[in-house]
Amino acid sequence: MSDDDVVFLSIRELGTLIRKRQISPVDLAKQYLSRSEKLGPKYNAYVNLTSELALKQARAAEQELASGHDRGPLHGIPYAAKDLVAVPGYPTTWGARPFREQTFDYNATVIEKLNTAGAVLIGKAAMIELAGGLGYTNGFASFTGPARNPWNTQYWTCGSSSGSGAIVAAALAPFTLGSDTRGSILCPASHCGISGLRPSFGRVSRYGAMAIAWTMDKLGPMCRTADDCGLVLSAIAGHDPKDYDSLPQHLAAFSYSESAERPLRIGKITNAWRKVPADLERAVDAALHVLEQHGATVRDVRIPDGAYEEAAELTILIEAASSFQKLIQSGKCAELDDPLGRVNGYPSMEFSANDYLQVQRVRRFLQANVDKLFDEFDVLTAAAQDGAASPLHEPQQKTPTPPRPRRDLRPTPTPEPDGVSSLCGLPAISVPCGFNDKKLPYGIVFMGRALQDQQVIAAAHLFQQHTDWHKQRPPDTTLDIKSSSVRVSSGALGE
């Protein structure tokens, strides 16, 4: 097995090699650090590497495992964290120029949990500035530059967990942490051809993570496989009194099981997205056919009409105006890279208290409408996005304003799955299900009832057990290093 084969392995596979002592945590950390140093800049994937910390943690993992102290599936496994979670000793920039020197003297809870699990932090992943909290118009909205998609560097990764998506796709780390307020894990996962899980709201503590919108922010794993997402979620879920919205322990805790509790009842959303390319529709249908062949039942379902997008967007705008109040009032928002981000806080501060409460009162009905669907279905599914990645363009100086008035004032009849599930705090996972004619990945999303994270992971895992889209590799991700730092005997995984 070559080095390049090793770095594209899943967490579970790497764990097997580590426990068979066919690979060492220190060598593994070095290999991913080396790739991240050399390939990371090509994708603008990182803000910083945490090499010193990584090697320290890897050595500790190696010693513990050698002495028989096994902390579980993440022990000795390298990862990167979106640069909005606090890690002492390194800047936590929130991807934004005004915060590029910002530091914290404590770990975010999610980092503490990964430390406890023995994972090895190798870097802070690049991201859209403020995770898009004050808005952005293009993928260049980051002080580290646009994250470039490993499948084609002329294309964007999507955001806001942009670096996190690129890192996993290019095998610079086996998993990353992302954050998702409205689709910021699901979209990069889809466009980068990886598996990204946005857990149920309140399941993973956000203490020590930048806030955009307190009622919508979630942290979650981005991995090579859905199975890996389950392993990571098991490590990072749980009650945290430091996060006001953290669920009680009996609800927040997550214990991953590889299989579904019963044959899955899947609802195919018939009114998702305004328009989806024909080949993406075919890819989703083919994916559902695979699931049907393996015991799942699939029926059409329609998301009830409702102003989901409007409610999600308004919630985020209003809460972000408060969470970034200091930045807006100080005028430092003018230092942001994106022209919309520089001004968007001002109009958002004009919303009234009544506006906010109105939205939050309507939100409960939208939530109830969607929840009811899960009386009949375990998971709902659709194309994860309405297409593949978009090309990166230099920002335009002035946005053209074509005359295209919106005449229909009814709520959109084609809700977007990531908007619906974000607004309602539901778990959702995006996994790759095909490619377009430019060899850019397509994704399929599974969303479930609140706290049914197990079901969405099980659906995606079942799909991946019988397909190999998640095993595809982007081009030009081979590291040309003569001196191999990872030595693995062939057949180590029993292949």
Partner 1 sequence: MISRRDFGFRLAGMLAVTGHPAHLADAEESAAKPNTSTANSATTRIEGLSQAEQEEVESRYQNVIRVWGQRLSSEQRERVHRVLVANTRMMQPMRAFQLENGDPPAQVLRVTTDNESAAQGKQAALRDWSE
Looking at residues 240 to 259 of the shown chain, list those that interact with partner 1 (rule: CB under 8 A): 241-242, 244
The reply to whether 320 sits near partner 1 by the rule CB under 8 A is yes
The phi, psi pair for 389, rounded to 5°, reads -60, 155
142, 161, 179, 184: the active-site residue: 184
160, 164, 190, 205: the active-site residue: 160
Q: Residues 406-431, buried b or exposed e (16+ Cβ, 10 A)?
A: eeeeeebebbbbbbbbbbbbbbbbbb
Can 10 be counted among the known catalytic residues? no
Give me the amino acid identity at 301. V
The reply to whether 409 sits near partner 1 by the rule CB under 8 A is yes
| CB nearer to partner 1: pick between 67 and 354 | 354
Shortest Å, Cβ 223 to partner 1:
20
The reply to whether 314 sits near partner 1 by the rule CB under 8 A is yes
Give me the amino acid identity at 456. V
Can 184 be counted among the known catalytic residues? yes
| CB nearer to partner 1: pick between 33 and 389 | 389
User: Do residues 177 and 209 make contact, with C-beta atoms less than 8 angstroms apart?
Assistant: no
Q: Are strands 120-125 and 78-82 parallel, antiparallel or unpaired?
A: parallel
Part in contact with partner 1 (CB under 8 A); list of ranges 62-70, 112-120, 293-301, 402-410? 402-410
Shortest Å, Cβ 431 to partner 1:
15
For the window 341-380, what string marks contact with partner 1 as x by the rule CB under 8 A?
-xxx-xxxxxx---x-xxxxxxxxx-x-------------
Rg (CA), the chain: 21
| CB nearer to partner 1: pick between 400 and 494 | 400
Shortest Å, Cβ 229 to partner 1:
19
The reply to whether 449 sits near partner 1 by the rule CB under 8 A is no
User: Do residues 380 and 301 make contact, with C-beta atoms less than 8 angstroms apart?
Assistant: yes
Looking at residues 206 to 225 of the shown chain, list those that interact with partner 1 (rule: CB under 8 A): 215
Looking at residues 130 to 169 of the shown chain, list those that interact with partner 1 (rule: CB under 8 A): 132, 134-139, 156, 158-160
The reply to whether 55 sits near partner 1 by the rule CB under 8 A is no
Shortest Å, Cβ 140 to partner 1:
12
Token digits of residue 237: 């879920």
Can 332 be counted among the known catalytic residues? no
For the window 177-206, what string marks contact with partner 1 as x by the rule CB under 8 A?
----xxxx-xx--xx---------------
Shortest Å, Cβ 203 to partner 1:
16
Q: Which residues are catalytic?
A: 82, 160, 184
